[in-house]
Amino acid sequence: MAAHRNSRRAFAWTAKELNEDVLPDRRLLAAALQEVCRHLVVPDTEGQMTTHPTQAQAAAYLHVSETTLTRYLQGQRVPPEKGAAAIFDTACRDAGGSQNVGITRERFLELRLRAEQERCANCSRLREAARAAGQKLRALQDTTDRLERTAAEQGRELRKLRQHAAFLKKEARSEKTAQPTPAGKAGPRKVRGATRPATVLPVPRRQGDRQQSKNGDLAARSIGRRAEELLHGGRPDSTLALLRHTAEVCTPLEVASLVALLRTEGQDELTDNLVHIFARDRDDQDVMQAALVLLEQRATADAEALLRTAAAHLGSALSRIGGSKLPR
C-alpha cells in the first residue's frame, strides 16, 4: 500500500529544544527518544501508512497523551521502564529491526535508567537542602524565642525602674510641705501609715529571675545613693519614707543587697532602720529569704537582727517557733 505524503518535513515535531536546566543524562535520553520516534510508521485516519505523522497521531499510536510525549521528547519527564520499552519495540518493528534504529534496546533502556537515577539524585539533594534549611529555621526560632524572653525581662525591669522613679519624683514634690520627722522614730506602724505618701506606686516583685542578682545590686545602689542624698540634705522624713517604700516593694534579695551596701558605706542608722522596717512589715518567708542572702554575704549580725526583729513582732510565725533561740 502506498504511503501518504505531504509537503511537511517528516517528523519535524521530534526536533524539540531542551531547556538549559535539563540534566545531562536526561538530555541523552531525550535525544535518543527523538531519534527513535523518527522511525515510527503511523497509520492515518483512513488506515493508510504515512511517513509524515503528526505528533498527535504518534502519541495515539504509542498510547500516550500528546502532552506526555512532548515532555518525554523535551527531557522534562522520564518514561517508565515499560513505556520506554514499548516505544522502542514499536519503532524497531516499524523500522524493520533494531539495526535500523541507530541504538540497541539495552543502550536505550540504560539511558532511561541513568536519567531516572539522575532525577532521584537531584531530589535527594533537594531533600538535603530542605532539611538543612529546616534546621536553620528552627535555630532562628530558638534565637527569636530567647531574644523575646530577654526583651520581656528587660521590659519588666524598665517598668519597675520607671515606677520607682515616679515615686521619687512624687516624694520630691511632697517633701517641700512635709514636717521633719526624726529618723529614730521609724518603729511604730501608725507613724509609718501617717507619714507615707498616699500615692506610692506598687512595684510587682519578681522571683526566680535569672538576672535577679544583677538587678538586685543595681536597685540597691540606686536606692542607697538616693537615701544618702536625702540624709545629707537634712531631710530625715524623706529618708524614712524612702526606706518604708523600699521595704514594701523590693524583693528580699534587693533589700539584703541594700542592707549590705549601706553597712559597707558606714550608714549604720539607715541600715538599722531598714532592717527594722523590713522585718516588721514583711511576711516571714520574705524575712527568711533576706536573712539567707545576708548570711551568704557574711553579714551575720544583720541577718540575726532581721530574724530577732521579726520574731519579736506580735503574730509572727518566727515568734511562735521560738525567736529567743536564734543562732549566734
3 belongs to a structural domain: no
Domain of 107: which CATH number?
1.10.260
Question: Considering 88, 108, 126, which residue would you say is the last residue of a domain?
Answer: 126
Domain shared by 241 and 301, yes or no = yes
Same domain for 26 and 98, yes or no, is: yes
Asked whether residue 182 falls in the same domain as residue 305, the answer is yes
Residues 115 and 191 reside in one and the same domain: no
Put simply, whether the predicted model's pTM sits higher than 0.75 gets the answer no
DSSP β-bridge partners for residue 302: none
Q: How confident is the model at residue 212 (pLDDT cuts 50, 70, 90)?
A: low
- Indicate the number of domains in the chain: 2
Is residue 44 domain-resident? Answer: yes
What is the residue range of 206's domain? 175-325
205 located within any domain: yes
User: Is 192 in the same domain as 286?
Assistant: yes
307 and 278 in contact (C-beta within 8 Å)? no
Are 38 and 120 in the same domain?
yes
Question: Is there a domain that residue 165 lies in?
Answer: no
Q: Of 252, 257, 227, whose CA–CA distance to 242 is shortest?
A: 227
Q: Are residues 234 and 106 in the same domain?
A: no
Does 115 share its domain with 185?
no
Which carries the bigger pLDDT value, residue 253 or residue 172?
Answer: 253
> Would you say residue 1 lies in a domain?
no
Residue ending a domain, among 96, 126, 156, is 126
For residues 303 and 191, membership in a common domain is answered with yes
Cβ neighbours of residue 207 under 8 Å, at least 6 residues apart? 251
pLDDT band at 98 (very low <50, low <70, confident <90, very high): confident
Task: Using the predicted structure, report yes or no on whether residue 323 has a pLDDT greater than 60.
Answer: no
The H-or-E segment that residue 206 falls in is: none
Segment among 79-83, 118-122, 172-176, 255-259 with least mean pLDDT: 118-122
Task: Establish if 141 belongs to a structural domain.
Answer: no
Question: Using 50, 70 and 90 to split pLDDT, how confident is the model at 268?
Answer: confident
Of residues 214 and 278, more confidence is placed in 278
Q: What DSSP assignment string belongs to 226-252?
A: HHHHHHHTT-HHHHHHHHHHHHHHS-H
**C-alpha cell of residue 12:** 519535524
Residue 131, SS3 per DSSP: helix
Domain membership flag for residue 38: yes
Residue 86: pLDDT band with limits 50, 70, 90:
very high
Shared domain check, 105 and 183: no
**Which helix (H) or strand (E) is 50 found in, with range?**
strand 49-50
Q: What is the pLDDT of residues 3-20, one digit of tens each?
A: 445 556 778 898 888 998
User: Does 168 map to a domain?
Assistant: no
pLDDT of 245 over the 90 cut: no
Listed range (49-63, 217-231, 284-298, 314-328) with the worst mean pLDDT: 314-328
Question: Are 54 and 13 a contacting pair, CB within 8 Å?
Answer: yes
Last residue of a domain, one of 106, 126, 146: 126
Q: Are residues 106 and 242 in the same domain?
A: no
Q: What's the pLDDT score for residue 328?
A: 42
Average pLDDT, stretch 244-272? 86
- Which stretch of 67-71, 185-189, 312-316 has the lowest confidence by average pLDDT? 185-189
Q: Does 183 lie in the same domain as 81?
A: no
Number of helices (H) and strands (E), helices first, in the chain? 13, 2
